[in-house]
Structure 1
């Protein structure tokens, strides 16, 4: 995919059908000051967009925010972020499919092709069209990223054509009506509260960079192109939203009421009703533009939801089959089909109006995690990574982004409490799946236990010591003292590290040798009557094995060497228990 392709993906995801559907209600909330709401939203979202540009250029892999949270935050943040992102992208795709179905059914009724009755008396036409549109884009995405990119580019160009037609007609009308400025005389009729309400309604539309970064493994020169695509698409979309609102308000002169109120009173149909007054076939053009816009967004979200599922499958956070690559098309075909089927099912059966409100909260929580991950990843890897873009004023930008995202999420808690209820329920379901299935699968494939032994009765307070062959008993005396004071147990971990290109099964041959090395320590612990356990893991990464053991064994205290800890920033940053470093 080229720079143009991923810019179009970003524009498609951010415009969707919202530029025609949400702009009307937003004008009703804020009046002409909706333009200010759009600009403030752009400034707020820029803080998070810079984090996405930074990590998207340095770690251009499928998964986006999920991948970075996995690298920068402790378990189970990675699974929860991926679980939330997959849900949000899938719900967004379902919304776009239903939106297209509604636009298409409306067009058929407008042209009197149908009368609006369900097919066979039971199948709603709009739902049938929604499912069919999802199936079409499943096929296009399975065929390959080239077809996906070309289709997305063509559809987005047509979408922009409808927007530019609306803008051109609006400016021409304003040029021929010098008194258009009167429409903006009461610029902020609903006050600051109206601006804030309009921001809450439209903020999530400017978050298309989450879709852009999903192209990381399939875009040319991602280090350079991903940051460019994020900033170019964001600038273009914000400008278009502002201009569409400006010309829609300035180009109409309804009798007996202000133009902004006329648009606001017509809510989702406000822009279409306004277009009828200054653009020949305005309603038809807006209707067609809405159809094409939702198709472009559906293509983008079909792509992005599948990439999240693919990345989670690759890391065993979801069934590994989702990471399968089509032998000829080189696309994650299983993830595309599974995500698409779920999308079609939701579009046809579930009350999307109730579920969709949670997508905004979920994205805000994901963006909060990503901002934290940007700080952690810089701390862990420093200058070891090659960045195409680095956020200035680090970490002030990220901290500001964290507070802004949390603030807007709390605003939605007050204005749309159902959104938080659905979000919390989805996170709880994900956490149960993580504890019962995902964590076990992940550990089994990344740091499996090849042997373990020790006392059957476990103690409440648990201490972990990484085994050091050069001086195995140096740390044990500190652990024994603490275990006696806390009525705890001592766990000793021996990690057999194998090279990344070598399968983990190769390390099993060293299990017996590793087990014998524990015997002197076992005698020491038994003589002190301290309950103990000994574990041997095979892993490509010693730090990952330690972190996995801390969570799996519910460790309270890690006793380790100071110099080792000082040079292992990943362990220092991601550990979830207390640490005692012995110098």
Structure 2
């Protein structure tokens, strides 16, 4: 049930972005970057955060589903990147929630000490952990018992916090203007700016604080009118949070004047609270109470978001299905919330407060790198198929700039905080090992089931997979046989049967399967007799794309051979496959391919590398290159193709890159002209050349 309105989502996001950071972060920022430098750091950090926030706004306006960065990686990246995205997202929330719980415990004990009260009989370490565990359990119950309660709590806490911050900011700024200390503190301070390295340390700390838009993305399925409200809430929370950060900084400088830098080096995280004590009566207590309130709001938001990440991963088969169960009464992912609570309690007992803060920052930064990349690829892959209510301006410049900056910040963190960065990388590696050892198998079983499988148990270094169309065509198998002989490779025949959603893939059987088994058994027996190691698999799946991609990864395939007809239907396979792909025009009999001793490669300037790849597959064929000098488009490709066909007739096979073939087949009328033997070659995703094209040689829009 959608129960979160714009006000609910706004305060959930604001609590996540501001958290307790606004109270404890301002002092260190002034100390690290100087009085005037602190303002510049905040403005620049907000601009950097906006680059990623725009991507979040765009994608949530088109895909209002729970999962956030994990779901978007699932749509645009091959395995294991979607799992890694979800794992990083979940771990960041886990550690972030624990960090906020421990921060509240520490601040609360200091607050009690300020008013002259101490918890008897318990040492500080035990007291902090006990309070943190109580908080985690309390907010788990709040999230367990209903989303509307979560939203109402965020509103109440948010209003109190914003009121306390505005009170402090107003008094500080006006008193600073009246006394002249604000101008002196900004322009006449002995430390207006500090070193460049300290400046970047401060910026990294602030940029990571702006992570609330990931949490807002997790509210998609419970937000009213999400395609409208979520993009607005993301940008509104970012703007308001930036104003609050800057106003608190200016207020602090206005009260302390030229002493702002020196006192911040002494007071550190307590700078804002101590400054508020000087500004007005009970100021320190009011601001501290507001800070405590925002920490509570942050724990609430993170608990909510973490359980939704787990829910999305479970739905996709990346985690056991038990975590996708929804409570019948409260309509919340109860098992995900309880598991999240349990892990956070364990982490609260073993984590160091300072180290965990830096680890959370690194993990969120890795997540934002993935999100910026998916923002680029979603537009490229799906284009007009997605109905965007909000579009990032200056695409792809903004997401690409955000991506580059996040990568830079990652390496900066590696230099500045090596222990935290390496620990975060260790967590990612652990997640990957868990995925490969258990969760990958679970994911594959969730997406498809093998109905029949038989063949040689001997494996070769070079592995070919042939995707068989509904009506088995031997020309694809003959081509694979020739390549396997040349490369001393093996052949894997794959037949995918799409299963109706109302049927379980595990229970699916029909008479067609028995017929296919007889045909495929005869084929692999013949291949094995000729000395080619061969096997076949018949699989039932709800999604052909998912089944093919998983099979490629499971069998460690080097080359996928498929018909042009299937290639046009399964465009996502083209995008997400990690192996090379050879597309064949099966409308022509294989004898035409056998007679042709020459391959004419029609390529763009930056695709010459394809020739070397094809020479390895067809070592006995002469290959001639024809380079399209201008930016390839339908007109100049068609012209070049017609010239080649008029000269060569049927004496050669045309080879095209996937990029060129995609432009030719963009319009249905061009398909009528592709009545000749041709191959299409595409290198696997995430190769060096693909990454180079994405970052440096991105083709222009037609």
TM-score (norm 2): 0.80
Distance in 2 between residues matched to 1:7 and 1:281, nearest whole Å: 29
Secondary structure, counterpart of 1:252 in structure 2: helix
Aligned twin of 2:13: 10
1:80 and 1:431 in contact (8 A); partners too: yes
Aligned twin of 1:446: 447
Secondary structure, counterpart of 1:124 in structure 2: helix
1:204 and 1:360 in contact (8 A); partners too: yes
Q: Show the 5 A alignment for 1:105-116.
A: 105-114=109-118
Q: Does 2:389 match 1:385?
A: no
Distance in 1 between residues matched to 2:125 and 2:354, nearest whole Å: 19
Aligned twin of 2:236: 232
Distance in 2 between residues matched to 1:47 and 1:122, nearest whole Å: 41
Distance in 1 between residues matched to 2:532 and 2:182, nearest whole Å: 85
Deviation at 1:450, TM superposition (A): 1.3
Distance in 1 between residues matched to 2:312 and 2:355, nearest whole Å: 28
Q: Does 2:215 match 1:211?
A: yes
Distance in 1 between residues matched to 2:113 and 2:301, nearest whole Å: 28
1:451 and 1:535 in contact (8 A); partners too: yes
Aligned twin of 2:255: 251
Aligned twin of 2:373: 372
* 1:223-246 CA distance string (max 9 Å, x none): 101100100000000111011101
Secondary structure, counterpart of 2:251 in structure 1: helix
1:496 and 1:507 in contact (8 A); partners too: no
Aligned twin of 2:23: 20
Aligned twin of 1:40: 44
Distance in 2 between residues matched to 1:306 and 1:382, nearest whole Å: 31
Aligned twin of 1:536: 538
Q: Show the 5 A alignment for 1:171-186.
A: 171-186=173-188
Deviation at 1:566, TM superposition (A): 4.0
Gaps of 5+ in 1: none
Which portions of structure 1, spanning 4 or more consecutive aligned residues, are displaced by more than 4 angstroms?
none
Aligned twin of 2:146: 144
Deviation at 1:499, TM superposition (A): 2.5
Q: Show the 5 A alignment for 1:444-523.
A: 444-470=445-471, 472-505=473-506, 507-510=508-511, 511-523=513-525
Aligned twin of 2:338: 337
Secondary structure, counterpart of 2:256 in structure 1: coil
Alignment equivalent of 1:79, drawn from 83, 89, 92: 83
Distance in 1 between residues matched to 2:467 and 2:383, nearest whole Å: 25
Distance in 2 between residues matched to 1:87 and 1:283, nearest whole Å: 34
Q: Does 2:559 match 1:557?
A: yes
User: CA RMSD, aligned part only?
Assistant: 1.7
Identify the range of structure 1 (563-572 vs 154-163) with the bigger mean alpha-carbon deviation. 563-572
* 1:80-139 CA distance string (max 9 Å, x none): 11111111001111111111111211122112221x6552x5862222111111111111
Aligned twin of 1:283: 284
Distance in 2 between residues matched to 1:487 and 1:495, nearest whole Å: 26
Identify the range of structure 1 (56-65 vs 229-238) with the bigger mean alpha-carbon deviation. 56-65
Structure 1 residues 157 and 179: CA distance shift in structure 2, 3 A: closer
Deviation at 1:384, TM superposition (A): 1.3
Distance in 1 between residues matched to 2:238 and 2:65, nearest whole Å: 21
Aligned twin of 2:316: 315
1:36 and 1:195 in contact (8 A); partners too: no
* 1:313-358 CA distance string (max 9 Å, x none): 2222122211111000000011111101211221233223223312
Aligned twin of 2:296: 295
* 1:144-196 CA distance string (max 9 Å, x none): 10011001111111111211111121123124313531111246331544432
Aligned twin of 1:575: 577
Deviation at 1:520, TM superposition (A): 4.5
Identify the range of structure 1 (336-345 vs 178-187) with the bigger mean alpha-carbon deviation. 178-187
Deviation at 1:67, TM superposition (A): 0.8
Distance in 2 between residues matched to 1:380 and 1:447, nearest whole Å: 24
1:263 and 1:274 in contact (8 A); partners too: no
Distance in 1 between residues matched to 2:536 and 2:300, nearest whole Å: 51
Secondary structure, counterpart of 2:222 in structure 1: coil
Distance in 1 between residues matched to 2:318 and 2:265, nearest whole Å: 45
TM-score (norm 1): 0.96
Count of paired positions: 578
Identify the range of structure 1 (314-323 vs 496-505) with the bigger mean alpha-carbon deviation. 496-505
Distance in 2 between residues matched to 1:87 and 1:483, nearest whole Å: 44
Secondary structure, counterpart of 2:366 in structure 1: helix
Distance in 2 between residues matched to 1:179 and 1:357, nearest whole Å: 34
Secondary structure, counterpart of 2:583 in structure 1: strand
Structure 1 residues 227 and 134: CA distance shift in structure 2, 3 A: same
1:454 and 1:532 in contact (8 A); partners too: yes
Structure 1 residues 462 and 118: CA distance shift in structure 2, 3 A: farther
Secondary structure, counterpart of 2:221 in structure 1: coil
Secondary structure, counterpart of 1:363 in structure 2: helix
Secondary structure, counterpart of 1:330 in structure 2: coil
Identify the range of structure 1 (394-403 vs 16-25) with the bigger mean alpha-carbon deviation. 394-403
2:491 and 2:535 in contact (8 A); partners too: yes
Alignment equivalent of 2:107, drawn from 103, 107, 114: 103
Higher RCO structure, 1 or 2 (CA under 8 Å, sep 6+): 1
Distance in 2 between residues matched to 1:423 and 1:516, nearest whole Å: 51
Structure 1 residues 247 and 354: CA distance shift in structure 2, 3 A: same
2:205 and 2:361 in contact (8 A); partners too: no
Distance in 1 between residues matched to 2:154 and 2:239, nearest whole Å: 19
Deviation at 1:546, TM superposition (A): 1.0
Identify the range of structure 1 (326-335 vs 173-182) with the bigger mean alpha-carbon deviation. 173-182
Q: Show the 5 A alignment for 1:413-452.
A: 413-452=414-453
Aligned twin of 1:31: 34
